Amino acid sequence: MTYGRGLRGLSLATAATISLALGLVFFYAPLDADQGFVQKIFYIHVPLAIVSLCGFILGGLLAIGYLRTGERQWDIRSYVAIHMSLIFGIAGLITGSIWAKASWGHWWVWNEPTLVSFLIVLLLYATYQPLRFAIEDPERQSRYASVFAVTAGAFVPLNFIAVRLAQQYVHPRILTLSGGNLPGSMRLTFLVSLLGIALLFVTLWKYELAAKNTRAQIRALRRSLLGEESVRPLGRSAAPS
């Protein structure tokens, strides 16, 4: 199994797309009539939040692969997807908080369902690593973590729908099934930004998988060349190996 294949092209595509997105954000997209320049945060905050939530769902889907086959590779893929989504989610939360301060005058608004539900999802996934760390047996760890990933992954879209059905919110509704109310230039800029962040997610996911896979292969090589006693025990870890 090699995860490094196509990584160079993917990295270049990511760099090009993010550069293009930044160019569009600052030189092409018009200033928002209501919020002015501060609305530029939208092009980084919303893609980070969307990609993070999709990453959590991806983690759940990959965990189904582990539960079906019992192959460790699926657990590693799921673990890295959730790990990356947490990082993206925290970035989304911080950028959102900055935007809230700039446009609402508060770093956090507790009666805003979108913000609070996103925080709930993040806190839910913050328990994923401690859960893994609490289980010493690698096989049980993978199984329990996969069940968690599937359950929590199913919770993410349900949570999203529940928030959409909520009546009272101050969060602007920009993306809707009917096409939303973004003008063409803003929509293009947003879509390129979303693509850039999604590519960044996939690139970093593949990088981390390649790194984990390389370390595992070195251990296997050491074991086969120098014998079992030459391999130091890994010790308890939240990360699958």
Partner 1 sequence: MSVLAAAPALPLHTAGKYVAGAYIVFVAIVLIYVAIMATRLSRTERELARLRREVDERRRAKEGDRDLESVA
Residues at the contact surface with partner 1, assessed by CB under 8 A: 32, 34-38, 40-41, 44-45, 48, 87, 90-91, 94-95, 98-99, 101-106, 109, 168-170, 172, 200, 204, 207-208, 211, 214-215, 218, 221-222, 225-226, 230
CB 56 within 8 A of CB 121: yes
* Shortest CB 104 distance to partner 1, Å: 5
Give phi and psi for 36, each to the nearest 5.
70, -145
Number of separate helices (H) and strands (E) present in the chain = 7, 0
> Which residues are registered as beta bridge partners of 32?
36
DSSP three-state, residue 181: coil
Least separation in angstroms between CB 72 and partner 1:
19
Q: How far is the CB of 224 from partner 1 (least distance, A)?
A: 11
Which of 135/204 has CB closer to partner 1?
204
Nearer to partner 1, 101 or 140 (CB): 101
CB of 170 to partner 1, least distance (A): 5
Q: Pull the structure tokens for residue 215.
A: 């370390």
Compare residues 52 and 146 and give the one whose CB is closer to partner 1.
52
Q: Please give the C-alpha separations between residue 132 and each of 59, 76, 236, in angstroms, as whole numbers.
A: 14, 12, 10
Cβ distance to partner 1 smaller for residue 38 or 131: 38
Q: Could you tell me the smallest distance in angstroms from the CB atom of residue 34 to partner 1?
A: 6
Query: With respect to partner 1, which residue has the nearer C-beta, 150 or 186?
Result: 186
**How far is 130 from 138, CA to CA, in rounded Å?**
14
Instruction: Give every CB contact of residue 119 below 8 A, 6+ residues apart in sequence.
Output: 93
Q: Is 192 helix (H, G, I), strand (E, B) or coil?
A: helix
